[in-house]
Amino acid sequence: MPRKEIRITGYGGQGVILTGYIFGKAAAIFGGLHSTMTQSFGPEARGSACASALVVDDNVIAYPYMRDTDILIALSREGYEKYADELSENGILVYDADLVTPHQSDTVQAYGIQAARLAEELGNRIVQNIVVVGFTTAVTGIIDREAVAKAVESSVPGSTIELNLKAFATGYEEGQKLLAPVG
């Protein structure tokens, strides 16, 4: 797989950093790829702008910083507005349709999921990011489903593993439905 650059954005408390960590761990530990991650966030613990930048490649990563965003995962409107212009032509946008309304584009592949609503239906809005992890795994295919599921399981507190794996499966199934041929 050639180098892919992924930016995850939202606000503190949504699990933006954990999302980047999970994808990086899935790639490097369980997927046989290389990955690096950087993060940025405001001084507030929750509610401030937050972003995670991940580079994934099948080769050793000599330059760990992003040049072009291939995939933008937007969990908040503010984050989307801040980073939308960095998304490369023919890039992929994954967004929480409950919170983000993307600009029209003829070149960007945009995939929306009502992650906040689905997380609430699962019983806890805190797993919104894991719903998005599952959905992104399905619609992009850049990291193997089993590798990402293992990374989710090994990255969340033990008492929440079942809920998080259910959230991952829910998001993945929504992505599969979206990609399924009609008819």
Closest CA to 91 of 124, 67, 113, 63: 67
Confidence of residue 48 (pLDDT cuts 50, 70, 90): confident
CB 49 within 8 A of CB 41: yes
Q: What is the pLDDT of residues 147-161, one digit of tens each?
A: 999 999 999 999 999
CA distance 69 to 20: 14
The strand ranges marked E within 13-162 are: 34-41, 49-57, 69-74, 87-96, 109-113
pLDDT at res. 122: 97
Contacts of 68 (CB under 8 A, 6+ apart): 5, 86, 88, 91
Identify whether 155 is part of a domain: yes
CATH code, domain with 107: 3.40.920.10
100 within a domain of the structure (yes/no): yes
81 domain-assigned = yes
- Chain position carrying tokens 């293992």: 150
Are the C-beta atoms of 82 and 10 separated by less than 8 Å?
A: no
Question: What local confidence, expressed as pLDDT, does residue 40 receive?
Answer: 79
Residue 97 forms part of a structural domain: yes
Residue 109 lies in a domain: yes
pTM of the model: 0.93
Range of the domain at 10: 4-178
Tokens linked to 137 = 């795994």
Has residue 56 got a pLDDT over 90? yes
Assigned domain for 183 exists: no
For the chain, the domain total comes to 1
| Structural domain includes residue 96 | yes
